[in-house]
Structure 1
Amino acid sequence: MGLLMLFFGLFFMGGWAAAVAALVHAVLALVRIWPRDWVRRRGHPAVRLMAPTPAYLRLDVALAVLAFLIDLWLVSVAIVFGSDGIFTEDWMGYPGMTDPSGQGYQAGVVSALHTTAWWTFGIAVLCRCWITAGVQVCVLPLAAWWIGSFDTYYT
């Protein structure tokens, strides 16, 4: 078993704990900035809208870390479930063909990752969380491309 597969397997099993810890941190950051200003008071209206206050920037960083951990967990779930007889990558070992209904699994995972990326990107942009939007636009589409490049038993 490859070292990369071991990483994804371990993150699949324990990544939810890291994501929950990041969620708690993001909620605490939101509670801390709640009474503070969310928009700058001086400058051009476009600059005030685009440039967040320092407190809001800390919330954005906390949300970006949370989004990254959840994205990594989603990719780990897809790889761990796909390694059970669907993907035939060398670093996964040879699991054997165990799931004959897995023909649409790879396409479904790629579609789900793209859909998740664009929905979360849109929500982050609407909430002016620019760092989180950047993370969502970079991590999930690249992971979808990577998973889409795997050889399967059915292609």
Structure 2
Amino acid sequence: MSVVMVFFGLGFMGGWAAALAALAYAVVTLVRARPWDRPRRPGPPAVRLLVPAPAYLRFDRRLAAAVLLADLWLVSAVIVFGADGVFTEEWMGYPGMVDPTGQGYQAGAESLLRTTAWWTAGTALLARCWTTAGVQLCVLPPAAWWIGTFDTYYT
């Protein structure tokens, strides 16, 4: 097994814990801010809508870090589960027995990553978490494209 697969295996095994810890830290950051520090008071309505208060910006940055860890965990899960009989990339080592039910795995994984990116980015935009939305759109769609370039036994 190559070093890259060890990285993805470790990311899959421990990534969920790191993502949950980062999410808890982001929520604690928002809760610890006083309620009157969360909205921006001075300025016209457009500025208050587009430029959040400093306490909310800290929350957004920490939420973006948590989402990045969750994205890495999701991509690692797709690669680790696909390495067992679907993908034939040379850095994965021997992929094992070919699973005939895995023919749609690559397309399903790409669709999952793209759908997750658009839904989570849309939710982040509705919550005015601009950094989090940017992270979602910069990580998951390129990861879906990258997984789409893998060689499989079925193509």
* Pairwise TM-score range, normalised by the shorter structure: over 0.9
Letter in 1 for 2:151: D
Checking the alignment, whether the CA contact within 8 Å between 1:36 and 1:55 is kept in structure 2 is no
Deviations 1:12-31 (A, max 9, x none): 11111111211210121121
Determine if the alignment matches structure 1 residue 22 to structure 2 residue 22: yes
TM alignment of 1:63-142, pairs within 5 A:
63-142=63-142
Shift of 1:34: 5.1
Which consecutive unaligned segments of at least 5 residues does structure 1 have? none
Percent identity over the alignment is 70
Checking the alignment, whether the CA contact within 8 Å between 1:42 and 1:48 is kept in structure 2 is yes
Letter in 2 for 1:14: G
Shift of 1:137: 0.5
Checking the alignment, whether the CA contact within 8 Å between 1:16 and 1:73 is kept in structure 2 is yes
Shift of 1:51: 0.7
Which consecutive unaligned segments of at least 5 residues does structure 2 have? none
Deviations 1:95-143 (A, max 9, x none): 2333111000000000010000000000000000000000001100011
Q: RMSD across aligned C-alpha pairs, in angstroms?
A: 1.1
TM-score, length-scaled by structure 2: 0.96
SS of 1:101 mapped into structure 2: helix
Name which of structure 1's ranges 58-67 and 90-99 shifts more when overlaid on structure 2: 90-99
Determine if the alignment matches structure 1 residue 55 to structure 2 residue 55: yes
**How has the CA–CA distance of structure 1 residues 85 and 119 changed in structure 2, closer, same or farther, with 3 Å as cutoff?**
same
Query: How many residue pairs end up in the alignment?
Result: 155
